[in-house]
Structure 1
């Protein structure tokens, strides 16, 4: 699954009362901040990133600067304009997005918007991303949920309850859970969303993307193990 979002880079700059280091170029103080945009284009804290690293011009005493909390505010002084690269990290393995930002002094404040992608985000990161809009799998979840109950459901009533299934899976013993994971691997289809993070010892699955025959098998297994009824 690939989730797309837009990052807004906000830059502010102003002259400061310090001796010029280069004739004809006043000294400036400038600040760069990072935000994420929701579906309506409103700024939200970029909590999807765990740290942001700014790579400034090599003439700076500290050209690589790291910030760990939104809005990842980077403030410096200088006289020159330059292009910087900005690395934005998530907790995912290989979870880094890099953008190039043009620091210039044409305006006191200006904004740039960059598209970024999150590939196969973990369940935790998915929840954070949902704060700024739906995920690609959410429509599938709604369709599957609508098919399992309610007035708009099909006449043939399903024999499983996804909400109870999710709760029941958390109650399984380690051996039973391994059996369920193997079952999912054996009977999943192309629409099934799973993420297996071996390094962290994590396995996650979106139950709403499982095929009906696999859902039925899992439900019967959970009934047999007495964690649902």
Structure 2
């Protein structure tokens, strides 16, 4: 299996300041804060993170509607509060090419600060390949003329998305335990962030996964 990746740096920016509104906690002023998600170019310039189709913020459960979904770059989240906390942000690559999760720490030491995360992004997906070029060089993709798939992927991907947790877990296990995938995973540091698109998997593995999903009874 040959997985085609390029490196990109995702920057999560936070701006915050004290506001005049009364805080519910004595001694802790109320603050307005905003988070933006951008991509760094080769020279460190900031670009909209068009590689993502949406980002989901999972705030502290004390917030009203703590799960927030943003679908337009820079995926800005504006809020106010008095407390510092750590929360996760899940960003989904274009055309179902994978998901990356970040842990972000909201602090009030600086009015403006950022955290940078290095990720590996698959570039074989056409739309993703196009927007990756906006933030740096991307190799061209050479597709074998005789590449075919055993299974109608769209059909079983839709069933997988509607499935229960057990089916999804079994599919993940099939993928990570496949020898070709396991070799790729073994080459990488444990703390490295990367994603694998289903369309990058070996054809034999795709066929096996498709047969397994389509032969499972539908979710009730």
1:12 alignment partner in structure 2:
15
TM-score normalised to structure 2 length: 0.62
For 1:199, which of 142, 151, 154 is the aligned residue?
154
**Larger-gyration structure (1/2):** 1
Coordinate RMSD, CA, aligned: 2.9
Structure 2: tracts of 5 or more residues without a match: 156-220
The 1-side partners of 2:118 and 2:77 are apart by: 21
- 2:72 maps to what in 1? 69
1:22 corresponds to? 25
Residue of 68, 87, 92 corresponding to 2:90: 87
**Alpha-carbon shift at residue 131 of structure 1 (Å):** 1.3
Residues 3 and 78 (structure 1), Cα distance of their counterparts in 2 relative to 1, 3 Å cut: same
Retained in 2: the 8 A contact 1:13–1:30? Answer: yes
What is the alpha-carbon distance in structure 2 between the residues aligned to residue 197 and residue 41 of structure 1? Answer: 42
Matches of 1:36 and 1:106 in 2, distance apart?
A: 24
* Conserved 8 A contact 1:92-1:121: no
Deviation of 1:75 after TM superposition, in Å, equals: 0.4
1:175-194 matches, cutoff 5 A: 184-185=146-147
Q: How big is the shift at 1:53?
A: 0.8
Q: Say which SS state the counterpart of residue 44 (structure 1) adopts.
A: strand
Query: Which protein has greater RCO, CA pairs closer than 8 Å, 6+ apart?
Result: 2
Counterpart CA distance in 2 for 1:40 and 1:79 is 36
Unaligned runs of 5+ in 1: 142-165, 167-180, 187-193, 201-229
For residues 148-168 of structure 1, the C-alpha deviation after alignment (integer angstroms, 9 at most, x for no partner) is xxxxxxxxxxxxxxxxxx9xx
Q: How many residues align?
A: 153
Q: Deviation at 1:198?
A: 3.1
Rounded Cα–Cα distance in structure 1 between residues aligned with 2:102 and 2:70: 16
**Whole-Å separation in 2 of the counterparts to 1:61 and 1:5:** 33
